[in-house]
Amino acid sequence: MKIITINVSEPVYRDFREYARQHDRTASEIIREAMEDFRSRKIHRPTSLKDIRPVSVGKVLQPFKGSEDMLEELSRGQSD
């Protein structure tokens, strides 16, 4: 484990210490957990289809008819 030094405001550190005391943990544990949470959400964020923005690929060539099978429609597009 890497030892680091950080500067935080007194109120922030006080809140971390108080939370740690209430949960029978150390402030260091809480801060490590907060850093790991930040890392997983912001740095190594898992990609979801919800996160991917749509991209225009041009105009619609032929409207999709709901009665056709989607796989059949896609397969026809591959062989054209």
Encoding tokens for residue 6? Answer: 């950080």
Q: Which residue has tokens 């500067």? A: 7
Residues 6+ apart with CB under 8 A from 13: 27
Q: Is residue 69 part of a domain?
A: no
pLDDT digits (tens, 9 = 90+) for 58-69: 888 877 776 666
pLDDT digits (tens, 9 = 90+) for 21-65: 999 999 999 999 999 999 988 888 777 778 778 888 888 887 777
Count of domains for the chain: 1
Q: Is residue 6 part of a domain?
A: yes
Task: Please give the residue range of the domain that contains residue 1.
Answer: 1-47
pTM, two decimal places = 0.55
- The tally of CA atoms less than 13 A away on the side-chain side of residue 74 is 3
